[in-house]
Each structure stands twice: as structure tokens, then as C-alpha cells.
Amino acid sequence: MTAGPARKRFPWLGYGLVLAVIVLVALGPVISVYLAYLVAEPNGCRLDEAGVYPCVINGVDYGGLLAGMAIMGWLMLASIPFGAVALAVWVIVLLVHLLYWRRANPKRNPS
């Protein structure tokens, strides 16, 4: 008894990686703001959008870096909508590919 050719597997890993990248890029500004406040708050540093304030941690001033990270939050006004559209398009591409793949690779009944 010979079995037919092995059924090709669907490329879930590739689709999952692209979806993860889309989500990370869309949420990048939010993550940046969160990390800036996560560093500034425990070190007693002032962090707001009005300007750059000194934030000395272990003898190094990170005020400019933290202010830049906090200002990056404004990019979320563009990155989240674009990310949502990209995510929707990619899910549609995934579903269309999955439907065509299932038609091309039907399940074989062992008889």
C-alpha cells in the first residue's frame, strides 16, 4: 500500500511573523513612550512634551533621549491607523491564500 504524495503544509510561520512585525511597527510609538516613562519615573526625572530636562542616571544624562522617546508618542496618530489597515489587508491575504491552499491540497481519506 503506497501513500500518496505528502500534503504540503500551510506557511503559518511566515504569516505570523509578518503579522507580528505589523503589530510591533504600529505599536512602536506607544512602546517608546511607555519605556521612556518606565525609565524616568523611578529615577525621579521630569518628562513631558514641554522640553528636555536633565535626567542623570549613573552619571550620564539621558534627558534628551527620554524626551525624544516621549515625543515619539505623537507618531501613534499615524502608525496605529496605518497598522490597522495593514493588519486588515494582511488578514485578508492570509484568508484568501488559506482558501486557495485548501482547494489545491484537499485532505486525503485513508481507505
Over the stretch 71-103, which tens digit does the pLDDT of each residue have? 998 999 999 999 999 999 999 999 999 999 888
Range of the domain at 26: 12-104
Q: Which residue's entry shows cell 485578508?
A: 92
Count the domains in the chain: 1
| Residue at 70 is within a domain | yes
**Tell me: the pLDDT tens digits for 3-41?**
556 667 888 999 999 999 999 999 999 999 999 999 999
| Residue at 36 is within a domain | yes
Cα of 27 vs its chain's centroid, Å: 6
| Residue at 111 is within a domain | no
Residues 6+ apart with CB under 8 A from 91: 19
| Residue at 1 is within a domain | no
- Give the per-residue SS3 of 25-44: HHHHHHHHHHHHHHHHCCCC
| Residue at 4 is within a domain | no
| Residue at 110 is within a domain | no
| Residue at 109 is within a domain | no
What is the value of pTM for the model shown?
0.75
